Structure 1
Amino acid sequence: MKMGIPGSAHAALSFGALTIGGGILGYVKKGSKPSLGAGVVCGSLLVASGMMISGEKQFEGHSLAAGTSGAMALALGSRFIKTEKFMPAGLISAISVTSLAYHTKKALEWKD
């Protein structure tokens, strides 16, 4: 019997896909190369963390997702404070904080 993707991996995989898509959208709509680069890099790290969580590296995967989410929360949170524009910086910083809290909790559960 083949096991599916564990539920805790879905959070990282979904946020990773959203981040990659958002980076691409920022580039297409505004020509923003920083959005494209950051979206692809951060999104890829989140997808990689989801794959780690799906395998045998749950602690490492949740730790990577928490670290990536924390960096995104800081970067986009400061942009939101500076611009006072909720979209996209405010929304993604809020999701990042939620992801940081979730993956930190899960990493602590898997810690040796």
Structure 2
Amino acid sequence: MAPPGSAHPAFGLGALTLVGGAVGYFKKGSKASLGAGLFCGSMLIGSGVLISGENQFEGHALASTTSGLMAVGMGQRYLKTGKVMPAGIVAALGCVSMAYHVKKAIEWK
């Protein structure tokens, strides 16, 4: 059975975050990028699994929290460095993802 459409953003951003963390590690040797990518990516993929099952509210709540952490963390980095890639992009994706998942969590509440 295919996951519902509302789980796809969590799976997609989770996979992108995992890959981005690995690229940051292999390109620059950044252990922080690897750790954050693994943590946030895993949490987003886990939220997608919850959304696909019987725990839609909990999945969307977890995804919105994780996306919010990404937005705040990378938003601060963007303001400090002014670099759009990767900080600005990840902050923007985190904001969009958080808004989507908050909306979906409210629908399931």
| Structure 1 length-normalised TM | 0.96
User: Out of 75, 78, 84, which is 1:77 matched to?
Assistant: 75
Task: Give the letter for the 1:72 counterpart.
Answer: M
CA RMSD of aligned residues (A): 0.4
Name the CA distance, whole Å, in 2 between partners of 1:43 and 1:57.
19
State the secondary structure of the residue aligned to 2:7. Answer: helix
Q: Distance in 2 between matches of 1:14 and 1:95?
A: 11
Q: Does 1:95 align with 2:93?
A: yes
Q: Which amino acid aligns with 1:37?
A: G
Looking at structure 2, the residues matched to 107 and 98 of structure 1 have their Cα atoms a distance apart, in angstroms, of: 14
TM-score where L is the length of structure 2: 0.99
After TM superposition, which residue ranges in structure 1, 4 or more long, deviate above 4 angstroms?
none
The aligned counterpart of 2:39 is 41
Helix, strand or coil for the counterpart of 1:4? coil
The Cα shift of 1:4 comes to: 1.3
SS in 2 for 1:61: helix
d(CA) in 2 for partners of 1:73, 1:35: 14
Tell me which residue corresponds to 1:28: 26
Runs (5+) with no aligned partner, structure 2:
none
Structure 1: runs of 5+ lacking an equivalent: none
The whole-number CA distance in structure 2 between the counterparts of 1:74 and 1:96 is 8
